[in-house]
Amino acid sequence: MSIWFKKVTPEDLNNLYMKTMVDHLGIEFLEIGSDYIKARMPVDHRTKQPAGILHGGASVALAETLGSMAANLCVDRNRKMCVGLEINANHIRQVRSGFVYGVAMPVHIGATTQLWDIRIQNEKDKLVCISRITMAVLNLGSLK
């Protein structure tokens, strides 16, 4: 059984992020399963630090992109919106080239908060970063 409020495709998500930071970093949504979202990001001049390895902030940008999108896909966007409250990341392994792949899975999907676990791996399926994001679920009517 799917956790998503409405069905979308990776192409829908990639089109949504055109001409944004996500697009600039080369983040590309690849797969939407019944309870996860997967995306990849290149390790290149846009995402490396001066030492030539993946910038931790780029990993966090990938994690936040995945967690935020996943959270918003779990609510009726005509009535609610999810925004980030807190994100953390543990950087485990360096990456110098290729792609990293992130997968967001829910830990908790509640009425007022959501918690998402994002694991980022290299092309050899070695863990690069573990991140968790806490999302607030807001009622759109209360934002007016």
8 A C-beta contact, residue 115 and residue 63 = no
The tens digit of pLDDT for each residue in 83-100 reads: 999 999 999 999 999 999
Q: Are 37 and 66 in contact (CB under 8 A)?
A: yes
Whether 33 maps to a domain, the answer reads yes
* Total of domains in the chain: 1
Answer yes or no: is 135 within a domain.
Answer: yes
Which residue range forms the structural domain that includes residue 61?
Answer: 10-143
Q: Please check whether residue 69 lies inside any domain of the structure.
A: yes
Distance from C-alpha of 37 to C-alpha of 96, rounded to nearest angstrom: 24
Nearest C-alpha neighbor of 38 from the set 69, 16, 7: 69
- 1 domain residue, yes or no: no
Q: Residues with Cβ < 8 Å from 58, sequence gap 6 or more?
A: 25, 41, 46, 47, 48
Does residue 4 lie in a domain region? Answer: no
pLDDT one digit per residue (tens) for the chain, 144 residues:
899 999 999 999 999 999 999 999 999 999 999 999 999 999 999 999 999 999 999 999 999 999 999 999 999 999 999 999 999 999 999 999 999 999 999 999 999 999 999 999 999 999 999 999 999 999 998 776
For 52-64, write each residue's pLDDT tens digit: 999 999 999 999 9
Q: Looking at the domain assignment, is residue 125 inside a domain?
A: yes
What global pTM score does this model have?
A: 0.96
Residue 3 lies in a domain: no
Active-site pick, 11, 28, 31, 64: 64
In a domain, 91, yes or no: yes
Determine whether 64 is an active site residue: yes
For position 108, which CATH number holds?
A: 3.10.129.10
Alpha helices in the chain (DSSP H): 10-16, 21-24, 56-73
> What per-residue confidence (pLDDT) applies to 144?
64
